C-alpha cells in the first residue's frame, strides 16, 4: 500500500466538546496511525498516515459524525513529507497556538448520559454526585483560565483524578478510548472531585455524613419556606418555592428596592407548566438545549394554580429554565417536582459573589442557609435570558451558554483587534478580532465599583483567551456620553495602548449592532428606529426615541421625539416617574400638572415621595424655559 501522510488543521469550536477523543476514535476505526494535537486557538491538528483513499474517507466522516456541540469552521488538509512509518495512534500533549478565533465552547448543561450515571445506585462514585461530567458536557467558560483547554489550566486543577475508585477510577476512564470520559478535562467523581457543604446563616457548617443528608436538609429549608443560597456553575442563586408568595415577598424585602422585579423560575420538566403557559416548538427546543437559558413564556391562563403571581407581578410572561447542573437535578429529586425561584444571588446593582467568603458576606442578610461547593469559579456568568419572537431568538441578557461565542461581521476587517467598553446600564464590553466580535458576558450597571471591576476583568479575560497581543489593539471605542465611567475607561485604555479612541453615539451604536446581526452589507443603508433611555447625542442633548438613516460609516437623524426636560438629569432614566413628571410639567404647565399630580397621588411613584415632587416643581419653575442654563438636560 502506498502510504501518505496528511496534516489536517481543524478550526471552530473544537475544544471541550469531545472533539479530540472523537477524532482519535474515528482515526482508529479507519486504521490510521499518527497523532492528534490540541493547538489552542489555532484549533486541532492531526498528522495521520494511511492510504489516500482512507484518509479522504476519514475527512468526509469528520464532517458527518462530529460531536453535536462542536462546530467546524474550516478543515485545511495538506500532504506532507514524513520520512518514517508511524506505528501508533496517539493524542499528544497540547501546544500553545494562536488563531483568529476561540475554540472554546460556552458552559454545557449536564448531558443525559451523565444524568443517568448520577442516578445509578450501582455506580457509587457518581451516585448523587453533583459534579458528574464528560467529554461533551459540563462547565467550560467559567472554569478555563487559559488555553489550550486542558485540566491543568482550569479550576479543576486542584482535584487530581483518583486512581482507586470502583468500578473504574477517573484516571482509567480518562485514558480509555472506549470511555465517554476519554480525554475529558473537567470531570471528577465523589472520591476525587469537589463537594457541597451546607452552612447556616452564621457560616457554621451543618454536620452531615453524606450528600443525601445535605440534600435532605436543604430540601427541608426550601419546603418550609426558607431561602437557600446555592452556588452553581457561574455564580450563586437564591432559591425558594415559587408557589409561596410569602417567601417571595421576603426575598423582595431583603433585596430592597425590588418591589416588582420579576424572578426566574426553574422547573424540573416542561410538563409542569404546559397547561398554563404557551410553549412553541422553537421555545421548547431552546429551553431544552445545552445552553439552558431562561426563556420568557407567555401566560395562558390563571397561573396561580402552579406558581405565585408574586413571581412576576403584573407581567404577561414569566422566565423559566430547566436544570443545567447536577445540583439542580438533585435538589428537585429531594424537594419534589415543584417550581422554584432561582434568582441571582446578589445585592442589588452589585455582581454576584463567586468566592465562598464573599458569598457569605454579600448574602448574610438574604439567605437562611448556604449550599456551597469548593470548586473555584473563574469567570462569573449570570443565566442568559431570551424570548422567542417570530420564531427567532431575541436575547435579552447574553451570558451563560452563549459566551464566549462570537458574532461575525458581514464584511472583511483588516484590524487584528480593538476593544469596546460599552455604555453605563446593562453593560457588555466587547473585543473585535478581525471580523469577529466577542462580547463579554452580561456585566450589568457599571455605576458601582464592583461591577466596573467585573467589566474590566471580563474584557481582559477574553483578550487573554484570544491571545491578543497589546500591539494588535488598534483602537478603543466607547459611548459618546462624557460622564459615563466606561467613557473614562475608554480614555484610559486608549492612553495605555496608545491608540485612537472613537466615541460612538448611543443610538447609532444600537443601529450598528442591528445591522451586523441582520447581515447588512457594506455600502447598504438602513432606516432604524431606536427607542432607548439615555444616549448622548452629537448636539449635546440626551437622545431618546430616534429614527436614523445609517450606514456603517455615518448616520443622519431624520426623526425624533420632541425634546423634553429631564429634571434631575440621568436620574430620570433610572426612575421613569421623574421623566413622566418632567414631561407633564413641560406639557401642561405647573398649575395643571400639579392638579394632575394631586389627583393621581403621583408622589407615590417617586423614591422620596411628596418631598421629591415639590423639589422637582421648584426646580422646573426656576428654570423658566431656559433649561440648558439651569443645568436641566433635554431628551
**Residue closest to 440 by CA, chosen among 485, 390, 492, 397:** 397
**φ, ψ for residue 482, nearest 5 deg:** -65, -20
Residue 165 or residue 322: which is nearer to Zn ion going by CB?
A: 165
Residue 160 or residue 225: which is nearer to Zn ion going by CB?
A: 160
**Strands 385-389 and 294-299, bridge-based pairing:** parallel
Could you tell me which stretch among 168-176, 222-230, 393-401, 547-555 binds Zn ion (CB under 5 A)? Answer: 168-176
Is residue 366 at the binding interface for Zn ion, with CB under 5 A as the rule?
no
Count the helices and strands in the chain (H runs, E runs). Answer: 15, 25
Q: Exactly one of 8, 44, 144, 189 binds Zn ion (CB under 5 A); which one?
A: 189
Could you tell me which stretch among 165-173, 209-217, 598-606, 614-622 binds Zn ion (CB under 5 A)? Answer: 165-173
Residue 165 or residue 372: which is nearer to Zn ion going by CB?
A: 165
Strand order in the sheet with 407-408: 407-408, 436-439, 430-433, 417-420, 473-479, 501-504
Q: How many CA atoms lie within 13 A of 40 on its CB side?
A: 16
User: Can you point out the beta strands (E) in 54-171?
Assistant: 71-79, 89-91
Beta bridge partners of 236: 231
Could you tell me which stretch among 190-198, 349-357, 358-366, 534-542 binds Zn ion (CB under 5 A)? Answer: 190-198
What is the C-alpha to C-alpha distance for residues 340 and 318, in angstroms, rounded to an integer?
Answer: 12
- In the complex, least distance from residue 194 CB atom to Zn ion, rounded to whole angstroms: 11
- In the complex, least distance from residue 115 CB atom to Zn ion, rounded to whole angstroms: 8
For residue 593, give the 3-state DSSP assignment: helix
Q: Which cell goes with 263? A: 424572578
Instruction: Residue 594: count other Cβ atoms within 10 Å of its Cβ.
Output: 17
Q: Where in 120-139 is the site for Zn ion (CB under 5 A)? A: 134, 137
Residue 220 or residue 288: which is nearer to Zn ion going by CB?
A: 288
Residue 162 or residue 222: which is nearer to Zn ion going by CB?
A: 162
Residue 117 or residue 244: which is nearer to Zn ion going by CB?
A: 117
What is the C-alpha to C-alpha distance for residues 583 and 586, in angstroms, rounded to an integer?
Answer: 5
Residue 89 or residue 189: which is nearer to Zn ion going by CB?
A: 189
Residue 114 or residue 616: which is nearer to Zn ion going by CB?
A: 114
Question: How many chain residues touch Zn ion (CB under 5 A)?
Answer: 10
C-alpha 127: how far from its chain's center? Answer: 29
- In the complex, least distance from residue 189 CB atom to Zn ion, rounded to whole angstroms: 3
HEC letters along 88-110: CEEECCCCCCCCCCCCCCCCECC
Could you tell me which stretch among 159-167, 412-420, 544-552, 593-601 binds Zn ion (CB under 5 A)? Answer: 159-167
- In the complex, least distance from residue 245 CB atom to Zn ion, rounded to whole angstroms: 37
Concatenating the DSSP letter of every residue in 452-489 gives HHHHHHHHHHHHHHTT--GGGEEEEEEES-TT-HHHHH
- In the complex, least distance from residue 192 CB atom to Zn ion, rounded to whole angstroms: 3
Q: Where in 87-116 is the site for Zn ion (CB under 5 A)? A: 111, 114
Could you tell me which stretch among 96-104, 156-164, 317-325, 625-633 binds Zn ion (CB under 5 A)? Answer: 156-164
**Residue closest to 620 by CA, chosen among 565, 571, 564:** 565
**φ, ψ for residue 432, nearest 5 deg:** -95, 130
Cβ atoms of 132 and 114 within 8 Å: the answer is: yes
C-alpha 171: how far from its chain's center? Answer: 31
Residue 14 or residue 170: which is nearer to Zn ion going by CB?
A: 170
Q: Exactly one of 26, 147, 156, 192 binds Zn ion (CB under 5 A); which one?
A: 192
**φ, ψ for residue 560, nearest 5 deg:** -165, 165
Could you tell me which stretch among 170-178, 285-293, 392-400, 546-554 binds Zn ion (CB under 5 A)? Answer: 170-178
Q: Exactly one of 61, 73, 146, 191 binds Zn ion (CB under 5 A); which one?
A: 191
CA dist 67 to 25, 50, 62, 135, Å?
A: 12, 23, 9, 10
Query: What single DSSP character describes residue 305?
Result: G
Cβ atoms of 407 and 517 within 8 Å: the answer is: yes
Is residue 184 at the binding interface for Zn ion, with CB under 5 A as the rule?
no
Each residue 263-302 as x (binds Zn ion by CB under 5 A) or -, in order, gives ----------------------------------------
Residue 165 or residue 567: which is nearer to Zn ion going by CB?
A: 165
Q: Which cell goes with 384? A: 442568559
Q: Where in 458-477 is the site for Zn ion (CB under 5 A)? A: none
Is residue 162 at the binding interface for Zn ion, with CB under 5 A as the rule?
yes
Residue 134 or residue 446: which is nearer to Zn ion going by CB?
A: 134
- In the complex, least distance from residue 490 CB atom to Zn ion, rounded to whole angstroms: 41
- In the complex, least distance from residue 161 CB atom to Zn ion, rounded to whole angstroms: 6
Q: Exactly one of 10, 26, 104, 170 binds Zn ion (CB under 5 A); which one?
A: 170
- Residue reference for cell 485540566: 151
Q: Where in 212-231 is the site for Zn ion (CB under 5 A)? A: none
- In the complex, least distance from residue 73 CB atom to Zn ion, rounded to whole angstroms: 24
For residue 575, give the 3-state DSSP assignment: coil
Each residue 52-91 as x (binds Zn ion by CB under 5 A) or -, in order, gives ----------------------------------------
Give residues in contact with Zn ion (CB under 5 A): 111, 114, 134, 137, 162, 165, 170, 189, 191-192
Amino acid at each position: 500500500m502506498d502510504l501518505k501522510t496528511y496534516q489536517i488543521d481543524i478550526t471552530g469550536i473544537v475544544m471541550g466538546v469531545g472533539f479530540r477523543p472523537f477524532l482519535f476514535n474515528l482515526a482508529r476505526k479507519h486504521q490510521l496511525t499518527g497523532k492528534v494535537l490540541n493547538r489552542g486557538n489555532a484549533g486541532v491538528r492531526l498528522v495521520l498516515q494511511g492510504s489516500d483513499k482512507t484518509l479522504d474517507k476519514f475527512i468526509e466522516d469528520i464532517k458527518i459524525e462530529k460531536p453535536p456541540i462542536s462546530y467546524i469552521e474550516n478543515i485545511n488538509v495538506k500532504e506532507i513529507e514524513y520520512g518514517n512509518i508511524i506505528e501508533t495512534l496517539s493524542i499528544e500533549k497540547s501546544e500553545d497556538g494562536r488563531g483568529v478565533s476561540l475554540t472554546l465552547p460556552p458552559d454545557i448543561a449536564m448531558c443525559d448520559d451523565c444524568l443517568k450515571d448520577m442516578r445509578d445506585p450501582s455506580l457509587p462514585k457518581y451516585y448523587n454526585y453533583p459534579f458528574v461530567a464528560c467529554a461533551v458536557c459540563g462547565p467550560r467558560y467559567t472554569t478555563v483560565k487559559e488555553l489550550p483547554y486542558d485540566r491543568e489550566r482550569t479550576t479543576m486543577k486542584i482535584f487530581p483524578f483518583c486512581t482507586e475508585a470502583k468500578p473504574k477510577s477517573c484516571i482509567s476512564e480518562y485514558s480509555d478510548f472506549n470511555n465517554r470520559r476519554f480525554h475529558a478535562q473537567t470531570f471528577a467523581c465523589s472520591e476525587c472531585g469537589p463537594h457541597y457543604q451546607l452552612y447556616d446563616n452564621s457560616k457554621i457548617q451543618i454536620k452531615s455524613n453524606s450528600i443525601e443528608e445535605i440534600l435532605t436538609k436543604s430540601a427541608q429549608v426550601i419546603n418550609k419556606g426558607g431561602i437557600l443560597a446555592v452556588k452553581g456553575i457561574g455564580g450563586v442563586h437564591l432559591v425558594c418555592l415559587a408557589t409561596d408568595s410569602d417567601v417571595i415577598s421576603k426575598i423582595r424585602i431583603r433585596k430592597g428596592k425590588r418591589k416588582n422585579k420579576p424572578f426566574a423560575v426553574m422547573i424540573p420538566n416542561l410538563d409542569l407548566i404546559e397547561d398554563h403557559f404557551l410553549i412553541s416548538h422553537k421555545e421548547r427546543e431552546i429551553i431544552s438545549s445545552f445552553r439552558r437559558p431562561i426563556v420568557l413564556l407567555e401566560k395562558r391562563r390563571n397561573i396561580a394554580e402552579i406558581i405565585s403571581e408574586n413571581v412576576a407581578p403584573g407581567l404577561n410572561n414569566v422566565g423559566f429554565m430547566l436544570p443545567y447542573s447536577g445540583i439542580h437535578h438533585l435538589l428537585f429529586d429531594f424537594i419534589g417536582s415543584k417550581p422554584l425561584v432561582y434568582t441571582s444571588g446578589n445585592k442589588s446593582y452589585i455582581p454576584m459573589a463567586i468566592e465562598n467568603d464573599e458569598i457569605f458576606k454579600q448574602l448574610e442578610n438574604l439567605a437562611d442557609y448556604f449550599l456551597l461547593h469548593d470548586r473555584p469559579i473563574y469567570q462569573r456568568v449570570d443565566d442568559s435570558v431570551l424570548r422567542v419572537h417570530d420564531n427567532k431568538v431575541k436575547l435579552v441578557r447574553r451570558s451563560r451558554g452563549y459566551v464566549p461565542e462570537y458574532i461575525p461581521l458581514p464584511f472583511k476587517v483588516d484590524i487584528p483587534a480593538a476593544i469596546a467598553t460599552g455604555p453605563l446600564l446593562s453593560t457588555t464590553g466587547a473585543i473585535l478580532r478581525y471580523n469577529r466580535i466577542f462580547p463579554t458576558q452580561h456585566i450589568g450597571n457599571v455605576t458601582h465599583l464592583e461591577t466596573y471591576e467585573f467589566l474590566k476583568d471580563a474584557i481582559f479575560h477574553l483578550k487573554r483567551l484570544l491571545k491578543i497581543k497589546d500591539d494588535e489593539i488598534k483602537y478603543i471605542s466607547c459611548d459618546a456620553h462624557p460622564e459615563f465611567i466606561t467613557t473614562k475607561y475608554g480614555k484610559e485604555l486608549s492612553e495605555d495602548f496608545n491608540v485612537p479612541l472613537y466615541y460612538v453615539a448611543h443610538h447609532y451604536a444600537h443601529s450598528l449592532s442591528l445591522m451586523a446581526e441582520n447581515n447588512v452589507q457594506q455600502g447598504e443603508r438602513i432606516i432604524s428606529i431606536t427607542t432607548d433611555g439615555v444616549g448622548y447625542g452629537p448636539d449635546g442633548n440626551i437622545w431618546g426615541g430616534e429614527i436614523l438613516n445609517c450606514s456603517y460609516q455615518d448616520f443622519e437623524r431624520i426623526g425624533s421625539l420632541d425634546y423634553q426636560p429631564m429634571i434631575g438629569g440621568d436620574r430620570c432614566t433610572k426612575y421613569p416617574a421623574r421623566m413622566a413628571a418632567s414631561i407633564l410639567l413641560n406639557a401642561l404647565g405647573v398649575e395643571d400638572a400639579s392638579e394632575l399630580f394631586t389627583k393621581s397621588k403621583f408622589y407615590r411613584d417617586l423614591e422620596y415621595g411628596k418631598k421629591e415632587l415639590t423639589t422637582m416643581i421648584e426646580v422646573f419653575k426656576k428654570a423658566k424655559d431656559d433649561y440648558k442654563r439651569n443645568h436641566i438636560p433635554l431628551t
